[in-house]
A = this chain, B = another copy of it.
Amino acid sequence: MKATIVTIGDEILIGQIVDTNSGFIAKSLDKIGVEINEMLSISDDKKHILDTFAKLQNTVDLVVITGGLGPTKDDITKKTFCDYFEDKLVVDAKVEQHVIELIERVMNRPASQINKDQALVPSKCTVLHNQVGTAPGMWMKKENTVFISLPGVPYEMKYIVDQEIIPKIVREYDRPYIIHKTIITYGQGESLVAERIEDWENNLPNFIKLAYLPAPGRVRLRLSARGTDKKILETALDENVSSLNAIINDIIFGFDDNETIEVVLGQLMTQQNKTVATAESCTGGKIAQLLTSVSGAGTYFKGGVVSYATEVKIEVLGIDESLINEHSVVSGAVASAMALSVKKMMKTDYAIATTGNAGPSKGDSNAEIGTVFIALATPTELIVKEFNFGQPREKVVDRAVIKSLELLQKEILKNV
B155 adjacent to A392 (CB under 8 Å): yes
Contact A346 B18 (CB under 8 A): no
How distant is A7 from chain B, measured CB to nearest CB, in Å?
A: 8
Given known contacts A155-B395, A308-B298, A114 and B194 CB-to-CB distance under 8 angstroms: yes
Give the complex CA separation of A14 and B226 in angstroms: 13
Is A306's CB under 8 angstroms from B303's CB? yes
- Could you tell me the distance in whole angstroms from the C-beta of A15 to the nearest C-beta in chain B? 3
Q: Is the CB of A73 within 8 A of B189?
A: no
Indicate if the CB atoms of A214 and B27 lie closer than 8 Å: no
Let me know if A15 and B42 touch, CB within 8 A.
no
A234 touches B (CB below 8 Å):
no
Partner of A27, one of B15, B222, B258: B15
* Chain A interface size range: 35 or more
Contact flag A212-B70 (CB < 8 Å), given A39-B40, A303-B305, A311-B302: yes
Residues of chain A from 168 to 207 with CB closer than 8 A to chain B in the complex:
180, 182, 189-195, 201
Q: How many copies does the complex hold?
A: 2
Q: Known contacts A155-B392, A302-B312; is A74 also within 8 Å of B289 by CB?
A: no
Would you call A273 an interface residue if the criterion is a C-beta within 8 Å of the partner chain's C-beta atoms? Answer: no
Cβ-based interface call for A23 (8 A)? yes
Q: Are B38 and A106 in contact (CB under 8 A)?
A: no
Closest chain B residue to A363 by CB distance? B298
Contact of A44 with B305 in the complex, beta carbons under 8 Å: no
- In the bound assembly, the distance between CA atoms of A394 and B159 in angstroms comes to 13
Interface centre among A114, A193, A364 (most CB of B within 10 A): A114
Is residue A210 contacting chain B, with contact meaning CB distance below 8 A?
Answer: yes
A46 at the binding interface (Cβ < 8 Å): no
Residues in B with CB closer than 8 Å to A15 are 22-28, 30, 36
A101 to chain B, nearest CB (A): 14
Contact status B213-A11, CB under 8 Å: yes
Cα distance A114–B347 in the bound complex, in angstroms: 49
Contact for A284 among B12, B107, B293, CB less than 8 A: B293
Q: For residue A116, which residue of chain B has the nearest CB?
A: B191
- A124 contacts the other chain (Cβ, under 8 Å)? no
A55-75: which have CB < 8 Å to B?
Answer: 70-75
Partner of A74, one of B17, B210, B312: B210
Name A189's closest neighbour in chain B (CB-CB).
B107
Least CB distance from A153 to B in Å reads: 7
Task: Report Cα–Cα, A305/B291, bound state, in Å.
Answer: 15
Q: Contact between A14 and B38 (Cβ–Cβ < 8 Å)?
A: no
Pick the residue among B358, B363, B394 that contacts A155 (CB under 8 A).
Answer: B394
A295 at the interface (CB under 8 A from B): yes
What's the nearest-Cβ distance from chain B to residue A159, in Å? 9
> Is A359 an interface residue, CB under 8 A from the partner?
yes
Most chain B CB within a 10 A radius of its CB, from A22, A28, A209, A291: A22
Instruction: Select which of B211, B222, B304 is within 8 A of A306 by beta carbon.
Output: B304
Contacts of A227 in B (CB 8 A): none
Determine whether A115 belongs to the interface, using a CB cutoff of 8 Å to chain B.
Answer: yes
Q: Is A11 a contact of B195 with CB atoms below 8 Å?
A: no
Tell me the smallest distance from the CB of A160 to a CB of chain B, in Å.
13
Within 8 A of B (CB), among A285-344: 285-289, 291-293, 295-298, 301-309, 311-312, 315-316
Q: How far is the CA of A413 from the CA of B3 in the complex (A)?
A: 49
Report which A residues bind B (CB closer than 8 A).
10-20, 22-28, 30, 36-44, 70-75, 106-107, 112, 114-115, 132, 153, 155, 180, 182, 189-195, 201, 209-214, 222, 224, 258, 277-278, 280, 284-289, 291-293, 295-298, 301-309, 311-312, 315-316, 345-347, 358-361, 363-364, 390-395, 397
Offer 27 A-B interface pairs, CB within 8 angstroms, sorted by A.
A12-B39, A13-B26, A13-B36, A14-B27, A14-B30, A14-B224, A15-B24, A16-B222, A16-B258, A17-B213, A39-B39, A70-B214, A73-B201, A74-B210, A74-B211, A106-B390, A114-B191, A115-B191, A155-B391, A278-B306, A293-B397, A304-B308, A305-B305, A306-B306, A312-B346, A315-B346, A315-B347
